């Protein structure tokens, strides 16, 4: 196999894309939030667990991911909660604020249609009772 400068560069670009998952601009808070959103089956994440992970859309979490998770917990505590364990931190996605999280990630949120209220007057044993039904 002959190695030309072009084939060497092409092989390196393929390796870089495979390792970085197409991300070359660094780890952002949104990348960490996306990873937490995709891995909701695990409630708590230790800070070192972020390093080297890849989100489903191919964003690579670098060595800066724990710092970005800390930034999220400090500046957006309604999105991410942190707790200290010894000298380490554990992070949790606040699933009770899912609409805020999905808005930050730009996800399409499903808005539940309000139920229609129907009132009936029912007579039971000579007493009139109001019965509310939500349809």
Write down the pLDDT at residue 94.
93
Residue 67 lies in a domain: yes
Residue 131 lies in a domain: no
| Lookup: tokens for 89 | 């931190």
pLDDT tens column, 56-109:
888 889 999 999 999 999 999 999 999 999 999 999 999 999 999 999 998 754
Q: How many domains does the chain have?
A: 1
Residue 41 lies in a domain: yes
Write down the pLDDT at residue 57.
85
Please provide the average confidence, as pLDDT, over all residues in the chain. 84
Residue 55 lies in a domain: yes
Write down the pLDDT at residue 88.
92
CATH of the domain at 60: 1.10.10
Nearest to 86 by CA among 48, 51, 42, 50: 48
Residue 128 lies in a domain: no
Write down the pLDDT at residue 114.
61
| Angle between helices 29-38 and 65-75 in degrees, nearest 10 | 90
Residue 135 lies in a domain: no
Write down the pLDDT at residue 112.
56
Give backbone dihedrals phi and psi of 78, rounded to 5 degrees, phi first.
Answer: -75, -15
Domain containing residue 9: 5-108
Examine the pLDDT at 135 and tell me if it is beyond 70.
no
Residues 6 or more apart in contact with residue 4 via CB below 8 angstroms = none
User: Rounded to an integer, what distance in angstroms lies between the CA atom of residue 66 and that of residue 76?
Assistant: 15
Write down the pLDDT at residue 58.
82
């Amino acid at each position: 196999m002959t190695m030309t400068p072009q084939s060497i560069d092409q092989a390196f670009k393929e390796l870089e894309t495979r390792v970085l998952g197409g991300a070359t601009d660094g780890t952002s808070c949104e990348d960490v939030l996306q990873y937490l959103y995709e891995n909701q089956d695990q409630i708590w994440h230790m800070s070192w667990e972020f390093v080297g992970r890849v989100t489903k859309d191919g964003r690579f979490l670098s060595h800066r991911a724990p710092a970005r998770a800390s930034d999220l917990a400090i500046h957006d505590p309604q999105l991410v909660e942190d707790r200290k364990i010894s000298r380490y931190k554990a992070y949790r996605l606040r699933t009770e604020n899912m609409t805020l999280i999905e808005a930050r990630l730009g996800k399409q949120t499903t808005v539940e249609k309000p139920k229609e209220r129907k009132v009936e007057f029912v007579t039971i044993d000579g007493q009139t009772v109001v019965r509310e039904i939500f349809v």
